[in-house]
Structure 1
Amino acid sequence: REGHSLHEIIDGDEPLRPIIDFDLLVEALNAITPKLSSGQAKNLLCRAFRDTCLEIFPEWDKETMSIAESSDEKKISLHVLTFGMRLPNIAKVSAFTELVRKKLPAGLQKKGIIDNIANIGSFKSFSLRILGTPKYDKKTDKHVRIKKVIRPKDGSIFDFMIRPPNDDSRVIDSPLLVVPESEVNRCSKENNDTSSETTQADFDFVESLLGENGIEGYTLSFPSDNIPDLFPLTRNSPSHCPI
């Protein structure tokens, strides 16, 4: 709907596509030495993304790179991702982001230019604005900077999502995607906290509801800390259940 922001909500740690969220104020760009034009900055980012994809997955098809832009006269804003592969979890995407960052000139590596999704809010929950929708500016109470396609021009909205439905692209892991020990400990702690905060009685109650309603072929899991009332279901066997 026009004038409203729509977001893809990512919750949970299943495989997802690598993505770079690039935001650079034109004022900051002009202060970088040696000087870079906006076009040069964009090209450097896309080349760094391409080279990182090929490093971790030599068979990667560069034609599967998607680029969306919501820039204006004050800010360069790009989302760069690929629908040609997925990474095992958010921590691996975080490691991928750092590999891309290190390939950029020093002036483009500064904090705030590339957002690392593993450091935004909860470790396992974040959102990405859907293609064709504007960004909501809280300060002005207006919707601005519509997210537009750069490439592929004939791509579908699903080519610009991080975890679209029915994505069967390969899940790629690589020794280059080193997850810092601090992130591993953080993830483990969050899982433990979530389980301890949700009583076994709640879990048993939901499980009994599934049985009473003939919902089978799924594994019930404890909810994440940011959505404490949502018990995820993961299919574990063929089932005629419609959900």
Structure 2
Amino acid sequence: MSEREGHSLHEFIDGDEPLRPIIDFDLPQEVLDTIEPKLTRKEILDSLILAFRKTCLEIFPKWDYKTLTIASSSDAKKMSLHISTFGMRLPNIARVAVFTELVRKKLLTALQGNSIIDNIANKRSFSLRMLGSSKFDEKTGEHVRVKKPVHLKDGTLFDFMIRPPNDESEVVKSSLLDIPKAEMEGCSSINNVTTDAEFELVETLLQEASIETLLKMANFLK
């Protein structure tokens, strides 16, 4: 990875092929200092891992914890983490967005803010810095906060990607990730391809309703 240090290389996610779930966590130290009861960075990381693990097992009971990946670009001013897994994929970006909300609701209320858990999959496309790549600071013109592996330190670059080439991990379909059928009437979706209408619906649902409400609606409509 040393040859990539000093550069900002990104994996660009677009289109609606299956991809791995991803949690993008950013917590400034000044915000962390205001949280009560006081939490250490290790305690926060442990709670993130637990929430991610529980969600993976809820939607895919055969999920293997050994496929968990954690990358960090934290420094003294900010706790910055990407948590993912190469042990499964979700059908499309919309389902990854719902997965993120399931994880969010398992965290302490103080850690649930949109500025802390950034639902980057709640978009038609997004990008993530590659492992070994630094962040470019536009104010200073410097490359800072290199993204490094925390868990699975002997993993490959592809283990930490969201949509690597030739990924043969299982594509998981779970009712917990479904969008309520009644809300989808009139939205055409063929062969699991997410339409613009479906993306707009996901954005609206995630903004206006809690994930518990969505699940209750889904159960009611079954």
TM-score bin, normalised by smaller chain: 0.7 to 0.9
Structure 1 residue 140: deviation in Å?
A: 1.8
Equivalences for residues 64-213 of structure 1 within 5 A:
64-119=67-122, 123-179=123-179, 181=183, 188-189=195-196
Which ranges of 4 or more aligned residues in structure 1 deviate by more than 4 Å?
none
Instruction: Supply the AA of the counterpart residue of 1:86.
Output: R
Deviation of the 1:11 alpha carbon:
1.2
Map of 2:206 onto structure 1? none
> Structure 1: which amino acid aligns with 2:141?
D
Structure whose CA Rg is larger: 1
Q: How much identity, in percent, do the aligned residues show?
A: 63
User: How far did 1:190 drift?
Assistant: 6.4
Deviations 1:87-133 (A, max 9, x none): 000000000000000000000001210111233xxx32111100011
Give SS of 1:22's match: strand
**CA offsets per residue over residues 23-65 of structure 1, 9 Å max, x none?**
0001111111111111111110111001100010000000000
Give the paired residue count. Answer: 187
TM-score if structure 2 supplies the norm length?
A: 0.79
Matched residue SS, 1:51? helix
Cα 1:86–1:189 shift into 2, 3 Å:
closer
Tell me the SS of whatever aligns to 1:28: helix
Structure 2 CA distance, aligned partners of 1:54 and 1:46?
Answer: 12
Q: For residues 2 and 98 of structure 1, what CA distance do their matches in structure 2 show?
A: 32
The aligned amino acid for 1:85 is: M
Q: Show the counterpart of 1:38.
A: 41
Normalised by the length of structure 1, the TM-score is 0.73
Structure having greater relative contact order (Cα 8 Å, sep ≥ 6): 2
Question: Whole-Å Cα distance in 2 between the matches of residues 52 and 106 of structure 1?
Answer: 17
Pairing 1:222-237 to 2, within 5 Å after superposition: none
Q: Which runs of 5+ in 1 are unaligned?
A: 192-243
Distance change in 2, residues 1:148/1:2 (3 Å): closer
- Rounded to whole Å, the distance in 1 between the matches of 2:166 and 2:69 is 18
Structure 2 residue runs without a partner (length 5+): 188-193, 199-222
